[in-house]
Amino acid sequence: MANKPIVIALDAMGGDYAPVETVKGAIQGAKVYGVAVELVGNPAVIQTELDKYDTRGLDLRIVEALDEIGMDEVPTVALRKKKNASIAVTARRVKEGHADAMVAAGSTGAALAAALFNIGRIKGVDRPAIGVALPSQRTPTLMIDGGANADCTPELLVQFARLGRAYVQGVYGIEHPKVGLLNIGSEEGKGNAFSKEAFALLKSATDLGFAGNAEGRDFFISEFDVIVCDGFSGNVALKSAEGMATLFGRLIKQELTRNIWTKLVALLAKPILEKARKHIHHEYVGGALLLGINGICIIAHGGSSALAIENAIRLAVAGVKGDVMTKMVEASRLNRDALLAVEEGEVSEISAV
Amino acid sequence: MANKPIVIALDAMGGDYAPVETVKGAIQGAKVYGVAVELVGNPAVIQTELDKYDTRGLDLRIVEALDEIGMDEVPTVALRKKKNASIAVTARRVKEGHADAMVAAGSTGAALAAALFNIGRIKGVDRPAIGVALPSQRTPTLMIDGGANADCTPELLVQFARLGRAYVQGVYGIEHPKVGLLNIGSEEGKGNAFSKEAFALLKSATDLGFAGNAEGRDFFISEFDVIVCDGFSGNVALKSAEGMATLFGRLIKQELTRNIWTKLVALLAKPILEKARKHIHHEYVGGALLLGINGICIIAHGGSSALAIENAIRLAVAGVKGDVMTKMVEASRLNRDALLAVEEGEVSEISAV
């Protein structure tokens, strides 16, 4: 091979359907995107899964990590003791330069803690945040923060905006992204005390391309490329939208199964409706981004299928190809506050999803 | 007539499609629910609309209100000068005992201001809030606050919980409603500083039937009857869900119009899908409630059709029949702080939708 391949480190043991779905997803990802995948976890268990498939010609590597974090353990506490938990080793593959990005399914809190401990933050970033690329009819709108920081300062939102802007520039090739602030009205002067303060600060940061207030609906149907918010509001928005989508889907199903006639129509309509549903389902979205960490980290849904893992790998590859780390590091130089080394104490404050 | 009929005062001039749709909606409401409707506004204009229909046997009354608030005026400011604006007169019909409830379409901020000025608050309630009965597969879940108070104290959330609980008891006949706090995790201890404080306070109020933390999705798919939140988060949840529903609908439409075959299927599927869409559309939901005002006030969507007005009347009638005012006044006696008379200064703080 002339060019060094892109290498994705995958926590093969993470998520509700690991290792069956994670290994299968790794194989699909390696095949579809032509990348190397490091499968991190218990080698014997991973090998058993790999043996089920024809993996000839694929660059799949097993990396040993034998510590396990039990369901009853607090991830941030357990991670301090179990240095060889698969999620910790996965993060270190990035830190040590073996992998270009990491992918993990499962607890966002655990992944964030592992990334903070083992990779650290971008210089100038005070707190990492969860980025979520939300479905729309155009390029996705990036929400930051989706729930890592329940309490935010207005200054943090400016940092989020820089990270998000750089990410969108890299991955979607949008030179001048439209950056908005989540608020409850589009006019200046609307909102609560926090959003008014954040508005003023974002407006004064001339590097941001700040386009003013966005509203909840703008996550899904607008021209905004990035919308920044505190992690509480972001998480409320995500879960409210999820609840509505679930309800809408259930109501459609209810109507389609009402009688013989509707069931007949359902047979014809289902494959078509399924395409619409796919567009907004987490399996296809690919997962959340940990932005502000000094490496590309994708966190897939805890209930990830092989397809969800494959799409998380797609997201990781897009970040590598778009050179988002260079762009985010560069943008964060403008942050006022210098980076302090990652302090263990901070991790307990993470209020992640 | 042996029994005194229920009387609903309707701002006939409010909303984007007034008076055409408001008058038509009033006629439908009077017919379907057997109530008297007072049409408040310009008598000549209203009469012209009424003349288009056969209204024999219906109890429709015209109430004169000739002041108009222009599109360029700030409603709260204009309301102080224009005492005979239709929204102000509509509110006074309730205050003076002529009507049992008021219905208005258009600006929530203007309606809230008019209700505060002309009706006042329930004794013990510090701030009125917007209640929204959200669609679900069971009885609706009542959100309070949907956007009247962008900044809240934890004490206010306890007051909202009392109002919501009393409302749900009256309208849905649920004796022991399940009351939740909007948060970003279901376990105790999750959330931001505000939600943690609110949790402790709600838990300590033993009259509330507090059932713990709810999440965004619980507005649409849960067993909670009431979910309290600050107006910022509530508004974000509402608009995010609205955005998702709009996107989902557009994606379905996009797939159904993709080619000849899908268009054929669409012909069959549309009437069925329409039933699902209706369930979550604002026309059928009926509008928002102004809770904490000393009278039943329903605010319909600014873009209300006749059907939306009819459903807003349904909501108003349900409140009257469920005797929610007595119940809310009774519940609010437990609020710690005594009522102060409505001060004009307060209205400028309204951050309504």
> Quick one: pLDDT at residue A332?
95
Task: Report the C-alpha gap between B183 and B216 in whole angstroms.
Answer: 8
CB nearest A217 (choices: B184, B221, B240): B240
CB contact (8 A) between residue A255 and residue B248:
no
For position A287, what pLDDT does the model report?
83
Q: Are the Cβ atoms of A351 and B268 closer than 8 angstroms?
A: no
**3-state SS, residue B11:** strand
Structural domain boundaries in chain A: 1-125+292-353, 129-249
Neighbours of B45 (CB within 10 A): 16
The tens-digit pLDDT sequence of chain A (353 residues) is: 457 899 999 999 999 999 999 999 999 999 999 999 999 999 999 999 999 999 999 999 999 999 988 777 887 888 888 999 999 999 999 999 999 999 999 888 889 999 999 999 999 999 999 999 999 888 999 999 999 999 999 999 999 999 999 999 999 999 999 999 999 999 898 999 999 999 999 999 989 989 999 999 999 998 999 999 999 999 999 999 999 999 999 999 999 999 999 999 999 999 999 988 888 877 667 689 999 999 999 999 888 999 999 999 999 999 999 999 999 999 999 996 433 333 434 443 444 44
Q: Do domains A1-125+292-353 and A129-249 have the same CATH topology?
A: no
Query: Is A129 in contact with A231 (CB distance < 8 Å)?
Result: yes
Rounded to the nearest 10 degrees, the angle between the axes of helix A231-256 and helix A260-280 is 160
Answer CATH for A129-249 from 3.30.540.10, 3.40.718.10, 3.20.20.70, 3.40.980.10: 3.40.718.10
Which of A46-60, A139-153, B65-79, B230-244 has the least mean pLDDT?
Answer: B65-79
Give me the residue from B233, B241, B279 closest to A241, CB to CB: B241
Query: What is the Cα Rg of chain A in Å?
Result: 21
Closest-CA distance of chain B to residue A119, Å: 26
Chain A residues within an 8 Å CB radius of B146 = none
CB contact under 8 A, A237 and B236: yes
| pLDDT at position B2 | 53
**Chain A contact present for B66, CB below 8 A:** no
Question: Token pair of A122, please?
Answer: 């971008």
Inter-residue contact B298 to B288 (CB < 8 Å): yes
Distance from CA of B222 to the nearest CA of A (A): 9
**Model confidence pLDDT, tens digit, residues B116-148:** 999 999 999 999 999 999 988 889 999 999 999
DSSP letter at B15? S
Cα–Cα distance measured from residue B353 to residue B348, given in angstroms and rounded to the nearest whole number: 14
Q: What is the mean pLDDT of chain B?
A: 91
Tens of pLDDT, residue by residue over B304-353, are 999 999 999 999 999 999 999 999 999 999 996 433 333 434 444 444 44
CATH number of B129-283: 3.40.718.10
ipTM for the predicted complex comes to 0.90
Q: What is the pLDDT of residue B336?
A: 63
Nearest CA in chain B to A196: B150
Looking at per-residue pLDDT, the higher value among A31 and B279 belongs to A31
**Nearest to A242, CA basis, from B241, B223, B144:** B241
Tell me the mean pLDDT in the region B190-210: 94
Question: What local confidence, expressed as pLDDT, does residue A24 receive?
Answer: 98
Strands A288-291 and A296-300: antiparallel
For the stretch A58-117, pLDDT in tens is 999 999 999 988 777 887 888 888 999 999 999 999 999 999 999 999 888 889 999 999
A294 and chain B in contact, CB less than 8 A:
no
Distance CA B114, CA B81 (A): 12
Tell whether B251 is within 8 A of chain A (Cβ). Answer: yes
Q: Is A129 helix (H, G, I), strand (E, B) or coil?
A: strand
Closest-CA distance of chain B to residue A312, Å: 22
Considering only alpha carbons, which residue of chain B is nearest residue A277?
B248
Q: Which fold has domain A1-125+292-353?
A: Rossmann fold (3.40.50)
Residues of A in contact with B221 (CB under 8 A): 243, 246-247, 250
- Between the CA of residue B133 and those of A254, B146, B272, B282, what are the distances in Å? 21, 10, 24, 10
pLDDT in tens, A282-316: 766 768 999 999 999 999 988 899 999 999 999 99
CB A339 within 8 A of CB A124: yes
Query: By the CB < 8 Å criterion, does B228 face chain A?
Result: no
Taking the CA atoms of A46, A47, A52 and A53 in sequence, report the sign of the dihedral they define.
Answer: positive
CA distance A222 to chain B (A): 9
Domain B1-127+292-353 annotated CATH 3.20.20.80: no
Residues in chain A within 8 Å Cβ distance of B241: 216, 240-241, 243-244
Using the Cβ of A269 and the Cβ atoms of chain B, whether some distance falls under 8 Å is answered with yes
Closest alpha carbon within chain B to A138: B247
Please list every residue in chain B whose beta carbon sits closer than 8 Å to the beta carbon of residue A251.
Answer: 137, 275-276, 279-280
One-character DSSP codes across B209-253: -EEEEE-GGGGTSSS-SEEE--HHHHHHHHHHHHHHHHHHHHHHH
